[in-house]
Amino acid sequence: MSSRRNLVRVAVPVPLADAFDYLVAAGDALPPVGTRVRVPFGRGERIGLVVEHPAKTDVAPARLKTIGAVLDTTPALGAELMASLRWAAEYYHHPVGAVLSHALPGPLREGRAIDEPPEPSWQLTALGRTVDVAGLPRTARQQARALRALRERALAASELEAEDVAATALARLAAKGWIEPGPPLPQPELEPARGQPSREPDLTPDQRTVLEDFARARNAKGFRAYLLHGVTGSGKTEIYLRLIAAELAAGRQTLLLVPEIGLTPQLVRRLRERFGEELAVLHSAVTERQRFDAWRRAYRGGAKLVVGTRSAVFAPLPSAGLIIVDEEHDASFKQQSGFRYSARDLAVVRAQRLDVPVVLGSATPSLETFNNALQGRYVRLALPRRIGSAGAPRVRVVDLNLHASRQALSTPLVAAIGQHLTAGHQVLLFLNRRGFAPALFCPQCKSTEQCRRCDARMTVHARAGAVRCHHCGAERALQWACGACGVERIAVGAGTQRVGEELAALFPAARIARLDRDSTSRKGALDMVLSDVETGNVEILVGTQMLTKGHDFPRVTLVGVLNADQGLFGTDPRSHERLAQTILQVAGRAGRAELPGEVLIQTHHPGHPLLTSVIDGDYTAFATLALNERREASWPPFAHLALWHAEAARRDSAFAFLEHVRAAADAERGSVAVLGPAPLAMERKGGQYRAQLLFRSAERAPLHRLVGRTLLALRGSAAARRARWSIDIDPLEI
């Protein structure tokens, strides 16, 4: 071991690794923690981040290598972010290099400079505007595409790239004098808002109380976690806007995390109207280059409001004042592959380190958050009433044992749809199943069309003339004749597509749209559907989970839940929580303004206690009951979980790995329970057999110690090489 003062410890994004020690060349200053450096690694070179300045190293002097170029003049990741990320790497048991690099925008991972000039744009020249695009040779397809796109507006190079226009095509167009470089473009969300800017409304008494309670608890500046529990339509967004405005006035930044920006254009519009230039949007729909520009505005502190989805939790916040997580219960905040973090939980961790308040908002808070508020760890702020004069929607259950239904539409629901349409209002129908029908069944040999690579049925997509597996994406041509006996088969059950067709037959005059992944896969299609509902161009909207996301459509008065039973009898300990959240959220789309709303829930189990509390619209009653069940069964939040997942082409390999984990853990498990291994409910997916093993512990510390030790024991094990595996801390799905 040698002791020196010219050492840096560098985290490099490689699997299964800690950080590595390097020398800094004699006479060079030590690059600060959070700085990107190029380092020799294996036979090549990597970009890593300085995590420490160690006083000594275990590496033999002859083997110590020297760092290459230092890429940042000021650290790419600030002190708080570095600390939070290192904490996350430890907590989620994920390699620190991978975690740090995850937090960097793509261009920085590739070694580009933080202060490189903003991306140039391209625009048509006067000559370019006269070109007959249709007359271009077929070999110049990219050039034609570029010219057509540029007729609409100037575009950033990365936007043209996203349209499959290569740099060479642009160079040719420029050489012909048809296009020329233009000034850098503003971020799309910074373009002036169209239409009337909305006036700041007078606060309701409830809203005023919430803001007063917040201010009182906030005690100057400092960390504190709040649950903003407001029923749907109670004006939570207006609370966010006021809190953000207060931070802005104080010159501080706010980070606002939302589940899916594409689904809530109304929210972005409201933010843009109120905060204009101060806004930076970070999410996956903008191009990587635009995201980089937004990241840099946050990094320099120019963007005072940073809005984004899950990964925006890693945004730089040099002058942070507040963090808000909207719809904190939403599953999209948990990353389900690779670095399996919870953005909601990391938001709280960052707020703690930044010493600023964090507000978690929801009408249907996760049981974890709800319990934290019950225990007094979080301050509960409540908005118990709706804003409009309409009040809470009336909820009715349709007992499917008593009423006939066709394509998932019962007679009472059809009657209700008719009444609401006649009144000139809009209807939303929720069905968590896309496609035409979930099964293709042969009445002769009783067989159902199966996916060849998954333990799952193929879904019929009648309009596309295909059957598709919704788990692995496999697709085959739809053949009505049974392959085994030649008999004409039947499409059983209904998905959104089939319900849409049935509605068209029942209500030929009504304009009907679908909102699911199939109907919105084309670019711009999602915006189109949402704006059609907003402007009243659509009277009936049939959709999946996408319907549940915070939409505010004032003329929707009827919401139908076509099948509440999916999830009533799930094996996952969270399935009830998820179902209650889904039903209450979708029900919350009814009667949001002045028109009273009605909700019909179709079920075969009308007496189920979950449905009874949901019918009363009482999430608190549901959550209290559900928490008691969780306590009795020792599930979160009354226990902590770590889930080992393994998959392999051979069933044995997945199990052998988990048995190995079990054996490695058993000797030292102490108070931690080790459950499994067990196959997943759908064992085979995409040709891989899947199994899992669960660690459960009443205390966090022994759980994390055991995971850490087990991971060490797995290093170099042969079983670990024969399966693809991962460890998931605080898993959402079990």
The residues binding ligand ADP (CB under 6 A) are 201-204, 207, 230, 232-238, 387, 552, 592
Q: Which is nearer to Zn ion, 140 or 472 (CB)?
A: 472
Q: Which does 432 bind (CB under 5 to 8 A by kind): ligand ADP, Zn ion, none?
A: none
Of residues 206 and 518, the one with the C-beta less far from ligand ADP: 206
Q: Nearest distance from residue 479's CB to Zn ion, in Å?
A: 17
- Nearest CA to 658 out of 585, 720, 713 is that of 720
SS3 content of the chain, % helix, strand, coil (to 5): 35, 25, 40
Q: Are 43 and 56 in contact (CB under 8 A)?
A: no
Q: Tell whether the torsion through CA atoms of 339, 341, 346 and 349 is positive or negative.
A: negative
Residue 458 CB, shortest distance to Zn ion, in Å, is 8
- Mask: binding to Zn ion, 673-712, rule CB under 5 A, as x and -? ----------------------------------------
- CB contact at 8 A, 559 and 354: no
Min separation Cβ 112 and ligand ADP, Å: 39
Q: How far is the CB of 582 from ligand ADP (least distance, A)?
A: 15
Q: What does the block give as tokens for 732?
A: 């959402």
Which residues, 6 or more positions from 501, have their beta carbon under 8 angstroms from its beta carbon?
A: 407
Work out what residue 356 binds among Zn ion, ligand ADP, none; the CB cut-off runs from 5 to 8 Å by kind. none
401-440 footprint of Zn ion as x/- string (CB under 5 A): ----------------------------------------
CB contact set of 176 (below 8 Å; sequence gap of 6+):
none
Chain centroid offset of residue 267 CA: 16
Which is nearer to ligand ADP, 230 or 636 (by Cβ)? 230
* Cβ distance to ligand ADP smaller for residue 326 or 730: 326
Q: What is residue 461's DSSP assignment?
A: E
- How far separated are the first and last CA of the chain, in Å rounded? 45
User: CA-to-CA distance for 466 and 645, rounded, in angstroms?
Assistant: 32
Angle at Cα 378 formed by Cα 373 and Cα 383, nearest 5°? Answer: 65
CB of 603 to ligand ADP, least distance (A): 25
DSSP assignment of 33-101: TT-EEEEEETTEEEEEEEEE--SEESS-GGGPPBP--B--SS-SS-HHHHHHHHHHHHHTT--HHHHHH
Element (H, E) at 282: strand 279-282
Burial class (CB in 10 A: 0-12, 13-18, 19+), 140: middle
| Residue number with CB closer to ligand ADP (189 or 238) | 238
User: How far apart are CB 475 and Zn ion at their closest, in Å?
Assistant: 10
Please give the C-alpha separations between residue 708 and each of 18, 548, 560, 701, in angstroms, as whole numbers. Answer: 13, 38, 48, 11
Site map (CB under 5 A) of Zn ion, residues 319-358, x = contact: ----------------------------------------
Contacts with Zn ion in 452-481 (CB under 5 A)?
453-454, 469, 471-472, 474
Question: Using CB distances below 5 to 8 A depending on partner kind, what does residue 236 bind out of Zn ion, ligand ADP, none?
Answer: ligand ADP
Which residue number, 238 or 516, has a Cβ lying nearer to ligand ADP?
A: 238
Q: Which residue is nearest to ligand ADP (CB)?
A: 237
The interface partner of residue 651, options being Zn ion, ligand ADP, none and the CB cut-off 5 to 8 Å by kind, is none
* CB nearer to ligand ADP: pick between 387 and 673: 387
Residue count at the site for Zn ion (CB under 5 A)?
7
- Minimum distance from residue 408 beta carbon to Zn ion (Å): 24
- What does 369 interact with, of ligand ADP, Zn ion, none (CB < 5 to 8 A by kind)? none
Contact yes or no for 434/493 (Cβ under 8 A): no
Nearer to ligand ADP among residue 230 and residue 438 (C-beta): 230
Report, in Å, the least distance between residue 473 CB and Zn ion: 7
Nearer to Zn ion, 109 or 471 (CB): 471
Question: How would you class 671 by CB atoms within 10 Å of its CB: exposed for 0-12, middle for 13-18, buried for 19 or more?
Answer: exposed
- Calculate Rg over the CA atoms of the chain: 28
- Please, what is the minimum distance in Å from the beta carbon of residue 518 to Zn ion? 16
Cα atoms found within 13 Å of the Cα of residue 412, Cβ hemisphere only: 18
Q: Which residue's CB is nearer to ligand ADP, number 286 or number 324?
A: 324
Please state the closest distance from residue 682 (CB atom) to Zn ion, in A: 9
Q: Which residues bind Zn ion (CB under 5 A)?
A: 451, 453-454, 469, 471-472, 474
